[in-house]
Structure formats: structure tokens, C-alpha cells
Chain A
């Protein structure tokens, strides 16, 4: 009688998460608690979008800059509280930051039982009051990852009431650094450190250095497991032995960024820069962190620093273009992308990033929610397609279009909008390119299927048989 599941479903993409989120806000009619894990910049985009997508829901935003210890009163004081359906609470993480102290106890003092931030004990204990007095409001707590982990551990009763946790993942960052050490001594050092045995060989370096390497390496393993709090602890210990190793500060910055502790990540990257201002990845990742904070000018100047050091790293050009695109500076975005694709198409420049279509896909995903705005088509898309053509990345563009098909046929997108998307590509200057033939055929079939799923069989039969599984995979049909 019970179903067996052997394989896992593929993880949800950011756009799919958004659509489930919007669907949830549409379904919830009374008091509810949701958590949205994303960066401030993502929230800047997402909140207006969901307001537009759900015009029937009255939404408000409560921005918290300073630490607070009573949320109830702030909500109570809002003039619009009786008419709201949804209230986004932003910046609550500011009330938790004072609680973060360095420590060497596994998960650190993060979730230390002795120090419940006052706001969390307030929420934990007032949940019935929220429910009984704000019965019309669906509360959406917009928080970075570390803050959600705080809720899980330090406000379990409140967290237990949530009707959903939605995660929008961050931009990818450049890799952490490993320091290569001759294998033999590496093992000896680690072993001796953790076993408490004294090094046998006299020619090993002083203990201080061993300790640095040991904790640094441990930090990297923890980072790779996604256990960022513990990784930070290890890097802190490594740093306590050697202050001037920029590698440790850099990896520490990446861990903080992954936890959503963006200001602290920037401080950590600044330490790297103070020691070694010529590390390009640091500038790139710092640019990404500013991007997530919604600090766009700072972000752009970091990318510029990276580009000044390593102009041929086209992902920095590309990400700089994304920042400019998000701030509607299309001319500048185009110029940045022009540079990125110049380097991509230059045979003399090594391919740092194999997945060019992944880069393009990031842009397509940003584009989908806005492509119906008229200026984009004229001022951005037509010239951008020329850039793609010159750079000879049409195959990659096609792959990116197939990979994003499920977004355009999602229930939240109207049939009309989907048809416009198809027309956009068909009538573009690339419409007749041979490499676009397959993507456009699949797109057209997918959109027909979206209109009437019962016609699937006949639609699929019109496709060459080898293309059917590609479409199934793109649409996640089993």
C-alpha cells in the first residue's frame, strides 16, 4: 500500500522556489509564519515582484535597522495592521548579531544556551499573542542563513509553528583556497596535533605552524561539508596561531558569506586585502557580497578592482553586468557583457569557467521576470544577442534556454506571457540560427503543452523521438 521512493527529486531552482512561495502566499488566508532565506538584494527584487504577481493580497514591509527586543508592539503600532494579508519582516538579524561571539566550542557561542537574544525569547513566548491578535497576517521573516539557524536552535517553539521555509540560494562564489603541503608531513602534522602526540621528527616546523595548518585544513574540510559555523571556528583558531595568512581570512570570508553574515564577510575579505591586495578572487567575492547586500556601487567597484588585476576573468565582467542590469543601467550592463564575451571568444584567453551556458542562464533567470518591460527589448536584448553571435556562444544560449523552460511554462506564468517569450526568441536575429532550432522547437512544444496538458501525447509524437526525453527532463516530467 505504501509507495517506495528510490531516487530523490532534483533540488528546486530559485525560480521554482519563488513560485512555490508565491503560491503559498496566495493560499494562506490567515495568521501564518513563513521564513524566507535570501540575501537583502534578492529580497529587494522578490518583494515587489510578489506584490505585483498577487495584486489581491495587501502586503507591507517592516524594516528593522536597529536591534529590537519586542516585535509585537511594532506590529501593533502599524496603522495598516488590520488590513494586511502579508507582512514582510526584514532586518531581524540585526537583533541577533550582538549575540555572536567568537568561541572555540564546536558550533561556537552562536547557539550558546546561555545567551538567548532577547528578541528570540520574546517571539518564542509571544507566539499565541501574535496568532490571536494578528489573525489576518501572514508573517514572512526575511533572514540570512545564520539567522534562520538561530531560530531553529534558540526559538524552537516559534520556529515549530512555521508553515514553510523558502531558500533562495546565493550567487556562486569563487572557490576557497587550499594550501598544498607535501603529503607526508601534512599527515604527520595533523596526526600529531589531534592525537596529542609529540612530533617524532626533529625537522618538522615549529608547533605554531603545525597548529595553523591543522586548523586551516580542518576548516576547509568543514567548509566542504557545508558546516560553516564550525569552519569559522577552525579558521579563527588557525588565525590565532598565524595572523597574516590571507588564505585563512579568505576562506573565513567565504564561510561567513555562505551563512549570510555579509558585513562580517566583508570585514574578513578586508583583512585579506590588507595582507595581499592582489588576490583577484577576494575582490570578486567581496563584490558578490556587496551585491547580495544590495550595495551596488560598492559591488561594482570591487569587480573593477578584480578586473584591473585580472581582466580576462570574464565571470567578474559578467557579474558586474548583472549588477548593472539589476539596477536598470542597461547601457553599462551591455558594455560589461561585451567585455565578458570578448574574452570568452578570444582563443588566447584560457577558459576559466567551463560552464558558459551557466553564466548565460544566470542572466536568463534574471531576465524572465522583467522581459515584458518594453525598454529591455530594444536597449538590451537586441544588442546582447549580437554580442552572443559575435562571441559564438549560441549553442550555450540554446542550452540555457532549454534549462530554463520549466520556468516559463510554470503555472504562475500566463499563457500569453509564455507565448510572448517564444515570439521574442523566434523573431530575434538568432531566430534562424541552426543552433537555435532545437531549443525553439522544444519551447514551442512546451508552451502548447502548458496550454493543454491533455494533448501531451500528440505533441510529443510530433517531436523526433530522441528529443522527447530532453523535453521531459527540462520540464521535469517523469
Chain B
């Protein structure tokens, strides 16, 4: 592999847009304040005699989907469950305009895909429902389909209905009205179908189905004028949301978990779980070596996935190894890990940027690392409004960062990743929030802080 090919490989190994692959996944629970998705979400499912329905939340780019896909999925499979995972914004739903009926239909098609009925089961309960409702369903399907054709492939009818729902905004209202009218019996048919499917699962999956609906937080707009929408789904329809006869995990926007709806949500779903950042520094600002080391491991695994031989030269070329170094010195990666604030997506961006600013070299130099940090921090100057800079500066100057208030302004900053939330467990749990370290490098942040009289 020549140097340019190798650089391209490194670049794509840190592609920030997809959850980590299984060979590059690193368990970060020890440095997320002992937040372990297995123990928290997983054990509720494993230990429960009844079907559970839980909400899961986290900040943009913190590794939410990775934890759901990698950690929880694998764990539950080992425990004897069939995990049906789907990302709500990936295909079926038209984000920004989603209502309960859409979610229900989406669950139906994804379950049908995951546990397809055999030909012998052509008359399964969902098919029965389609038969009863075919007359109106047909009106919303552009192609000419006969009931016989639909019977052969169970998902066809629902799939087409969802396609119309997604692609034809004019007809959405009508479809939803129809589905809403039929919700109780559709839910009942779905539950009968789930019961049948669970009864026929192989021994390795005998504990039943776990349905994970990821990215639901993204498709449901949380803007003020649409608040009614998610309220309607999570609160008003909670009986239906919780009404599936299998374990369910829905993702939910962080802003809701921390809003005044929190108690209403807790009443209905138990306490929602929020994934914190990797603790790269302690509450008092001291660097947490363990956090940095975990992130180093994360980088190392991605490098090893390209070529295991590269790992020996991670922090400087070993003489005569014939392999180039990835970083010119160990401090460079330490810095990147610290400055990403424990936020996974930022670390990926920083790795890519360090390469970009490195001319045609592979080995990331101190200079290109500094350039990457500076250019990313400059970008924040464009992103925030005046009052937000003031808020961030105030938080940075707080002597006790566990006292950052809960208000809509703070959630907005948490949601956008400008403020980060950490948990640390030693004797007791502390949760605190701090300004993203890259922001503290930016010009406008320094101005705002100096205005408040802080020169730390």
C-alpha cells in the first residue's frame, strides 16, 4: 500500500457518519461514569418477567446508535433474544412530519421483515387485518395490486401504504385518519402476530423479541410549535406506545428528558436513560488518564483494522520497522482525545482534519494537529448567538459545574454539543456539565469570558 492509499484508508477509518463496526467498538462504560448500557437498559429487559418499554436518550454524536447496535444488540442476542433494530429516519418515515400512526405502521413492516411468516402461515393475524381493510388501503396504493398478490408477500400491502404516506404528503391526513380509526384492532393483530412469531422462534431466541426504534428523537420535531406532536406520541398515546407484546426501546430527544415533561415520561416509561460523554477530565478540570486511554484505544482499533502492523508505530516510527508512524509523538493523540471533550464524533472529525492539514504526509505532526484544533474552534464563531456565548462563558467560570441549571437555553446547547454532560462515579455519582474544550479556544468565547471578568 503506498502512502496516499494508506492516507485514504486512515481518512475513511475515521468517517464520522456511521456507528462503529464490531471490530472497532470499544466499551467505554468505565469512563462514562459507569454508565453501562448493558446494566441499565439491558438488565431491565433480561430481569423482567413482563414486557418492558423504555426510553433512551443521548446527545448528538455521543455514540448513541453505536451503543444500541453494538453493545445492547450483541448482549441481548447472547441472552437469547431476537433483536429487531430499525432507524426511524432510515426509509419508512418522512422526518419532521411523523405521527403515531406512522410509527405503528413502521413497527409493523419492520417486524414483518424480521420475522417473515412462512407460506404455511399465510393467514397470519396481520394478513387478516389487511383483508378486512383492503378496500380502503387499496385507494392509497398507486399500483394495481390484487389481494391475492398481497397475500403472497405479507409486507407488500403495508410497505406500499407506508410509501404513499412518505412520498405523498397530500394523502397523509387521510391515511392517518384511517389507521387511527383502526388502531385498536391493528395493534391487536400485531400483538397476535408477535405472539405467534415468538412462539415459533428457535431456541437461541426463545426469550422473545426486543424492538429497538432508533432515531425517533430525530424524526420528531421538538420545535415549539410542534411540541404538541411529541407530547401526543410519548404522553397521550403512551398506552399504545407501550401496548406491544414484546420489549421495546424508543429513543427520545434529550430536551424532553430534561423538560418539565420528565415526570410525566417517568410515570409512563420509568426513568429515561441518557448516555453521557466519555469523562476525559474530572469535575475539577484535571485530566482523566483512563478516559484518554479509552479514546486512544478507540483510535488504535480503527488503525489496526486497516493493518495491524501499523499499531506498533502509532506514536512514532519504530526504527527499521519499515512502517510509517501515525502520530509524530504520543502527546498528539493525547491532545486530540482531550480536546474532543469525550464526544465521539468530534474525535473522528479531529482525526480527519489532522490528516487534511498535513499536506501529503501520513504521520500527523504537532503542527497539523494544532491547525485542526484551531480551524474547528474557529468555526464555532459562526455558530452561536451573543447570548449563547455569554451563557457558555458563565458556565466556564462556575466554581461548581454540578450546578449548571436546567433550562431550555442549556438544553439547546447540550443538544448541539456546545455543552457536554459528564458522569463520574467514585463513592457517589456526580453529574456535571462543561463547555466543549474546543469552544474554549475560540475567539468569541474568550471575548465573552473576558467581558465577565474571567481570565482563567
Q: Which chain A residue lies CB-closest to B385?
A: A107
Contact, CB under 8 Å: A23 / B356: yes
CB atoms of A411 and B349 under 8 A apart: no
CA distance A181 to B335 in the complex (A): 51
A414 to chain B, nearest CB (A): 12
**Stretch with Cβ within 8 A of B (4 or more), from A87-95, A159-167, A299-307:** A159-167
- Contacts A3-B331, A27-B8 known; list 19 others, CB within 8 Å: A1-B330, A5-B441, A9-B367, A9-B370, A9-B371, A23-B356, A23-B360, A27-B356, A29-B8, A113-B223, A125-B89, A125-B94, A126-B95, A128-B90, A131-B18, A149-B382, A160-B417, A163-B352, A164-B356
9 closest Cβ pairs, A-B complex: A125-B95, A411-B359, A27-B11, A411-B360, A128-B90, A24-B356, A152-B383, A121-B96, A29-B8
Tell me if A157 counts as interface (CB < 8 A to partner B).
Answer: yes
B-binding residues in A (CB < 8 A)? 1-3, 5, 8-9, 12, 20, 23-24, 26-32, 106-107, 113-114, 121, 124-126, 128-129, 131-132, 148-149, 152-153, 156-157, 160-161, 163-165, 227, 410-411, 478
Within 8 Å of chain A (Cβ to Cβ): is B42?
no
Residue B170 at the chain A interface, CB threshold 8 Å: no
Output the least CB separation between A51 and chain B (Å): 18
Q: Give every chain A residue within 8 A of B8 (Cβ-Cβ).
A: 26-29
- Known pairs A1-B331, A3-B335, A121-B96; A157 contacts B218 (CB<8 A): yes
Please indicate the chain B residues that have their CB under 8 angstroms from the CB of A5 in the complex: 370, 373, 441
The answer to whether A2 touches B15 (Cβ under 8 A) is: no
Measured between C-beta atoms, what is the minimum distance from B257 to chain A in Å? 18
Given the complex, which residues of A lie within 8 Å of B379, measured CB to CB?
165
Q: Which residue of B lies closest to A161 (CB)?
A: B17
A8 surroundings in chain B (CB, below 8 A): 374
B148 within 8 A of A: no
Nearest A residue to B89, CB-CB: A128
A2 B360 Cβ-Cβ under 8 A: no
A9's partner among B15, B224, B345, B374 (CB-CB below 8 A) is B374
Contact of A152 with B382 at beta-carbon distance under 8 Å, contacts A31-B17, A128-B90, A160-B61 already known:
yes
Interface residues on chain B, number (Cβ under 8 Å): 55
List B residues at the A interface (Cβ < 8 Å): 4, 7-8, 11-12, 15-18, 60-61, 87, 89-91, 94-96, 215, 218-219, 223-225, 287, 330-332, 334-335, 338, 345, 349, 352-353, 355-357, 359-360, 366-367, 370-371, 373-375, 379, 382-383, 385-386, 416-417, 441
CA distance in complex: A152, B418 (Å): 13
CB of A410 within 8 A of CB of B359, answer yes
B307 → A minimal CB distance (Å)? 16
Known contacts A27-B11, A157-B218; A2 and B89 CB within 8 A of each other? no
CA distance in complex: A24, B225 (Å)? 40
- Can you report 18 A-B residue pairs in the complex whose CB atoms are below 8 A from each other? A1-B287, A1-B330, A2-B287, A3-B366, A9-B370, A23-B356, A24-B356, A27-B8, A28-B8, A32-B17, A125-B89, A125-B94, A125-B218, A156-B416, A161-B17, A164-B353, A165-B379, A410-B359
Residue of B nearest to A106 (CB): B385
Whether A160 pairs with B357 at a CB distance below 8 angstroms is no
Instruction: List chain B residues, Cβ under 8 A from A28.
Output: 8, 11-12
- Looking at the assembled complex, report how far the CB atom of A433 sits from the nearest CB atom of chain B, in whole angstroms: 33
Residue in contact with A2 in the complex, picked from B4, B224, B335, CB distance below 8 Å: B335
Chain B residues with CB under 8 A of A125: 89, 94-96, 218-219
Inter-chain CA distance A121–B335, complex, in Å, is: 36
Among B12, B17, B94, B385, point to the contact of A29 (Cβ < 8 A).
Answer: B12
CB distance from B170 to the nearest CB of A (A): 14
Residues of B within 8 A of A2 (CB): 287, 331, 334-335, 338
Determine the chain B residues whose CB is within 8 A of the CB of A23 once the complex forms: 356, 359-360
Residue of B nearest to A24 (CB): B356
User: Whole-angstrom distance between the alpha carbons of A107 and B386 in the complex?
Assistant: 10
Chain A residues, CB < 8 A from B382: 148-149, 152
Give B218's nearest chain A residue, CB to CB: A157
Q: Which residues of A contact B373 (CB under 8 A)?
A: 5
A139 CA / B335 CA spacing, docked (Å): 30
Q: Which residues of A contact B15 (CB under 8 A)?
A: 30, 32
User: Closest residue of chain B to A478, judged by CB?
Assistant: B367
If the complex has contacts A24-B356, A121-B96, are A113 and B417 also in contact, measured as CB distance less than 8 A? no
Taking the nearest CB of chain B, how far is it from the CB of A438, in angstroms?
A: 26
The docked-state distance in angstroms from the alpha carbon of A446 to that of B113 is 64
